[in-house]
């Protein structure tokens, strides 16, 4: 797989490590009433039913930035790559 | 008619005209007492024990492709019960005991071969960890033996003992571990279940559930609607897809794992060995091919094929341990999609929907579990209570903080 890094261009997936679903960006509020439920959902439950998947990849052997990669899990085709920091900021996170 | 040596000779002398198909090919009925989704090792074993041990009738196994075409036919065939944690070790040792009597039980030659498994030790802390694990195994009635370098050299003289970075310092052996002919396990359970009246229905994909007032009434399939009192999902790598039809999210992600086999060679590898410094394991099939594998590819995937970096990584690990491997040609490689759970351990439990049950999360180690998984799942289906050896494999262990994390990796499925 080739990941088209927004800053560095096409890079071999071997340079990256994989973390998991991009939903991990949406960390729940620890002060919420139902924080326990929210955190156990966030940590453990997934909707990995195949097809388009948004996921976090880390450019470990490169510029060490986090990316959100949109990839089809049936074909391994990558259709979109964004900086995770941009995605997080767009979702109202400060960093 | 039973299989025996006598029968083989008789058929050989009479032109092999007496063999019959090993199981029927029935049309689906309109309703069953029990529907098991997935005709892999676990689904077929569940159906067999449900009929045999619990005397249940009107059982169907629905398989979207052909029996044994999933991971049961794609794995590297290793069986062992060398786990550390309390939730796991009694279950896997129970499975090992069932393997030991399986061929007589099923009247089927599954080539259960207790040739032993050896986990190599490369550092002093690793020896401490393996000693502890060996003790946990012995406490649970399994066998374990700590081997010195000299002992290992007698059995595996060709290993790279004095590697500068990863010298071999010993090993943890389980002599009762070994390999089993994977396809034969599926076929053996299928034939035995069929003889007890179980309908094995192939080319029948489950596409949805009919759920009324929180109770599952049956399944929608590519061959029409089939009603059931109890529906049991047992689809390994397809678990998140199938359960999503019932609106259930799982603590499971699906990833791909590859396996490799070389050309046939003369016997060199007496048992199964695992490298303790990188992820690599190897055994030799009865046809002579070295069967090996390593880490899963490490990202979510439903493609039954992996990528080249993993091939390179596995082969590098293999060469580090067995330099002679470089002289063998690789014949075949393939991939299977695995149901990786959040703590690396399986789930055998009821769901929040009445009459709907779940078995999955086997990661890359579910083949060895096949007999015990079938027995425990059948127990749950028949009695609505967990089997004592599967009591820890519940959905709520994640929320309650009772994860069974053998590798201590945390909630990252691809790392287990
Ligand atoms: C490369 C590799 C190596 C492995 N090595 C080992 C090993 O050495 N030792 C070990 O213990 N384990 C190993 N495993 C793991 C082991 O193979 C699995 O955990 C185990 O086989 C899973 O259980 P199963 O046999 O029931 O799965 P499967 O055989 O995959 O059965 C699931 C079945 O469900 C069917 N299905 C899916 N969706 C539907 C649907 N909608 N409707 C109807 N049917 C459906 C599928 O077609 C399939 O036949 C390995 C796995 C892989 C991929």
If asked whether residues B187 and B231 sit together in one domain, one would say yes
With respect to residue B111, please indicate whether it lies within any of the assigned structural domains.
no
Tally of CB atoms within 10 A around B177: 26
Distances (CA, A) of B261 to B12, B268, B282: 32, 14, 9
Q: Residue B269 belongs to what domain range?
A: 117-180+254-341
What pLDDT score was predicted for residue B414?
Answer: 87
CB B203 within 8 A of CB B238: no
Q: Residue B254 half-sphere exposure, CB side, CA atoms within 13 Å?
A: 29
Question: Is pLDDT at B212 greater than 70 in this prediction?
Answer: yes
Residues B346-354: what's their mean pLDDT? Answer: 98
Residues A81-93: what's their mean pLDDT? Answer: 93
Last residue of a domain, one of B315, B341, B367: B341
Task: List, in sequence order, every residue forming a beta bridge with B195; answer none if it has no partner.
Answer: none
Residues of B in contact with A52 (CB under 8 A): none
What confidence tens digit (pLDDT) does each residue in B227-278 have? 999 999 999 999 999 999 999 999 999 999 999 999 999 999 999 999 999 8
What pLDDT score was predicted for residue A94?
Answer: 72
Question: Is pLDDT at B402 greater than 90 in this prediction?
Answer: yes
With respect to residue B108, please indicate whether it lies within any of the assigned structural domains.
no
User: Average pLDDT, whole number, for chain B?
Assistant: 96
Q: Is the CB of B140 under 6 A from ligand 1?
A: no
Chain A, 4 to 43: residues with Cβ < 8 Å from chain B are 12-14, 17-21, 36-37, 40, 43
What pLDDT score was predicted for residue B114?
Answer: 98
Task: List, in sequence order, every residue forming a beta bridge with A12; answer none if it has no partner.
Answer: A2
Last residue of a domain, one of B309, B325, B341: B341
Q: Which of B39, B42, B75 to mutate to test the pocket of ligand 1 (most atoms within 8 A of CB)?
A: B75
With respect to residue B3, please indicate whether it lies within any of the assigned structural domains.
no
Last residue of a domain, one of B297, B326, B341: B341
If asked whether residues B170 and B281 sit together in one domain, one would say yes
Total domain count, chain B: 2
Tokens of B371: 């007999």
With respect to residue B163, please indicate whether it lies within any of the assigned structural domains.
yes
Residues B333-344: what's their mean pLDDT? Answer: 96
With respect to residue B359, please indicate whether it lies within any of the assigned structural domains.
yes
Which band of pLDDT confidence, cut at 50, 70 and 90, is reported for residue A76? very high
With respect to residue B19, please indicate whether it lies within any of the assigned structural domains.
yes
Which of A36, A48, A76 comes nearest B253 by C-beta? Answer: A48
If asked whether residues B62 and B205 sit together in one domain, one would say yes
If asked whether residues B174 and B274 sit together in one domain, one would say yes
Residues of A in contact with B412 (CB under 8 A): 19-20
- Domains (range + CATH), chain A: 2-27+34-94 (3.30.2270.10)
* Residue A55 forms contact with B (CB below 8 Å): yes
What pLDDT score was predicted for residue A95?
Answer: 59
Residues A12-35: what's their mean pLDDT? Answer: 94
If asked whether residues B176 and B262 sit together in one domain, one would say yes
Residue identified by tokens 């045999």 is B52
Question: Is pLDDT at B315 greater than 70 in this prediction?
Answer: yes
Distances (CA, A) of B29 to B32, B33, B221, B228, B251: 7, 11, 12, 10, 33
CATH number, domain of B335, equals 3.30.9.10
If asked whether residues B14 and B65 sit together in one domain, one would say yes
Residues of B in contact with A19 (CB under 8 A): 412
Question: Is pLDDT at A92 greater than 90 in this prediction?
Answer: no
If asked whether residues B327 and B266 sit together in one domain, one would say yes
If asked whether residues B337 and B203 sit together in one domain, one would say no
Locate the ligand 1 atom nearest the alpha carbon of residue B78 and give its number. Answer: 8
Which of A1, A45, A73 comes nearest B250 by C-beta? Answer: A45
Residues of chain B with pLDDT > 70, as a percent, come to 100
């Amino acid at each position: 797989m080739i990941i088209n890094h927004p800053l560095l261009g096409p890079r071999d997936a071997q340079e990256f490590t994989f973390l998991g679903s991009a939903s991990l960006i949406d960390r729940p509020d620890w002060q919420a009433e139902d924080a326990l439920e929210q955190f156990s959902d966030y940590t453990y439950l997934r909707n990995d039913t195949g097809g388009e998947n948004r996921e976090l990849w880390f450019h470990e052997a490169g510029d060490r930035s986090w990316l959100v990669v949109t990839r089809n899990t049936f074909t391994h085709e990558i259709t979109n790559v964004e900086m995770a920091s941009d995605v997080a900021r767009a979702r109202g996170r400060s960093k | 008619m039973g299989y025996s040596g006598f029968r083989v000779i008789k058929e050989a002398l009479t032109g092999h005209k007496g063999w019959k198909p090993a199981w029927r090919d029935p049309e689906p009925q309109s309703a069953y007492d029990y529907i098991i989704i997935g005709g892999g090792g676990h689904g077929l074993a569940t159906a067999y024990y449900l009929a045999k041990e619990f005397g249940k009738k009107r059982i169907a196994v629905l398989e979207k492709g052909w029996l044994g075409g999933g991971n049961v036919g794609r794995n590297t065939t290793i069986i062992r019960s060398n786990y550390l944690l309390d939730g796991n070790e009694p279950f896997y040792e129970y499975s090992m005991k069932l393997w030991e009597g399986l061929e007589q039980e099923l009247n089927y030659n599954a080539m259960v071969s207790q040739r032993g498994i050896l986990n190599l030790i490369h550092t002093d802390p690793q020896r401490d960890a393996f000693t502890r694990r060996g003790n946990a195994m012995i406490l649970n009635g399994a066998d374990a033996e700590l081997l010195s370098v000299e002992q290992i050299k007698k059995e595996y003289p060709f290993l790279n003992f004095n590697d500068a970075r990863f010298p071999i310092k010993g090993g943890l052996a389980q002599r009762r571990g070994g390999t089993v002919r994977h396809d034969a396990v599926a076929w053996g359970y299928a034939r035995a279940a069929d003889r007890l009246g179980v309908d094995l229905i192939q080319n029948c994909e489950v596409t949805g559930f009919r759920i009324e007032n929180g109770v599952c009434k049956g399944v929608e399939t590519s061959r029409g609607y089939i009603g059931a009192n109890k529906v049991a999902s047992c689809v390994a790598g397809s678990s998140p897809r199938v359960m999503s039809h019932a609106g259930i999210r799982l603590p499971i992600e699906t990833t791909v794992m590859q396996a490799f086999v070389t050309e046939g060679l003369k016997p060199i590898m007496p048992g199964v060995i695992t490298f303790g410094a990188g992820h690599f394991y190897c055994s030799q099939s009865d046809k002579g091919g070295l069967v090996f594998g390593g880490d899963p590819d490490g990202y979510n995937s439903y493609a039954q094929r992996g990528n080249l970096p993993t091939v390179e990584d596995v082969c590098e690990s293999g060469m580090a341990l067995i330099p002679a491997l470089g002289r063998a040609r690789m014949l075949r490689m393939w991939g299977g999609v695995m149901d990786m759970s959040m703590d690396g351990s399986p789930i055998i439990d009821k769901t929040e929907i009445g009459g709907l049950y779940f078995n999955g999360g086997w990661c890359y180690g579910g083949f060895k579990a096949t007999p015990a998984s079938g027995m425990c799942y059948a127990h749950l289906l028949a009695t609505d209570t967990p089997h004592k050896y599967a009591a820890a494999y519940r959905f709520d262990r994640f929320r309650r903080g009772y994860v069974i994390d053998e590798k201590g990796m945390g909630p990252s499925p691809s790392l287990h």
